[in-house]
A = this chain, B = another copy of it.
Amino acid sequence: VAGKVLWHVTMSLDGFIAGADDEMDWVFEVDAAPSATAEEMIETMGAILAGRRWYDMVTARYGSREGIYGPKGVYGGRWRGPIFVLTHRPSDVRDDAGVTLLSDGIEEAIATARAAAEGKNVVVFGATIAEQCLEAGLLDEIVVHLAPLLLGDGVRLYGEPGVGRIGLERTALAESGQLTDLRFRVAQPGSSPPATS
């Protein structure tokens, strides 16, 4: 069976997934605890499709010897697998083992990541990638770690004038320390939202 396409994201209560200058320090400052939700994500993921912002953020964090699978890389070194980065500026990306640059449209990029995931899930990172997946009807679930703060400024989860409403169904809820782990199924485009009465 084909794996799902999941958006995995940490968000402030006011709906920001990064600070004003792409700051992510707040994510690491939350009084978190081992998260069964995050563990399940790691165990079931076969490939990552990420945007350029995420790639730049991760590579800024790890040292040159550690690489993207090191302790300061993706999922703290606890996951290995194919990583695809969708970028229009491939020339200034550093040469990382495991990372494949793509300049495709979203449908081709998801198809490539799906093939590499070999039946496991594809996890997408980045608001732009996720929004493209949502618009194309390619996103199955959103997994959110809700952080206890108001950021006030930065990169929004979703939303700009004119984008449509998208119905969700909450399928899981858990605490991991001060993080609140939420999992939502995305209503299929054209179908009614599942959560209306």
A residues whose Cβ falls under 8 Å from a Cβ of B: 13-16, 20, 26, 29-32, 134, 142, 144, 146-154, 156-170, 173, 175, 178, 180, 182, 184, 193, 195-197
Copies in the complex: 2
Residue from B154, B159, B173, B178 within 8 A of A16 (CB atoms): B159
Q: Is the CB of A178 within 8 A of B169?
A: yes
A175 to B175 alpha-carbon distance, docked (Å)? 12
Q: Is the CB of A149 within 8 A of B165?
A: yes
Residue from B150, B158, B161 within 8 A of A150 (CB atoms): B158
CB-based closest 7 A-B pairs: A15-B15, A152-B163, A148-B168, A14-B158, A150-B166, A178-B195, A29-B196
Q: Assuming A26-B165, A169-B178, is B184 touching A13 (CB within 8 A)? A: yes
A14 to B184 alpha-carbon distance, docked (Å)? 12
A33 to B29 alpha-carbon distance, docked (Å)? 34
Q: Is the CB of A168 within 8 A of B13?
A: yes
6 A–B contacts from the bound complex (CB under 8 Å): A13-B158, A13-B184, A26-B165, A148-B168, A153-B160, A153-B162
Q: Is the CB of B153 within 8 A of A15?
A: no
Q: Is the CB of B170 within 8 A of A149?
A: no
Residue from B31, B149, B166 within 8 A of A166 (CB atoms): B149
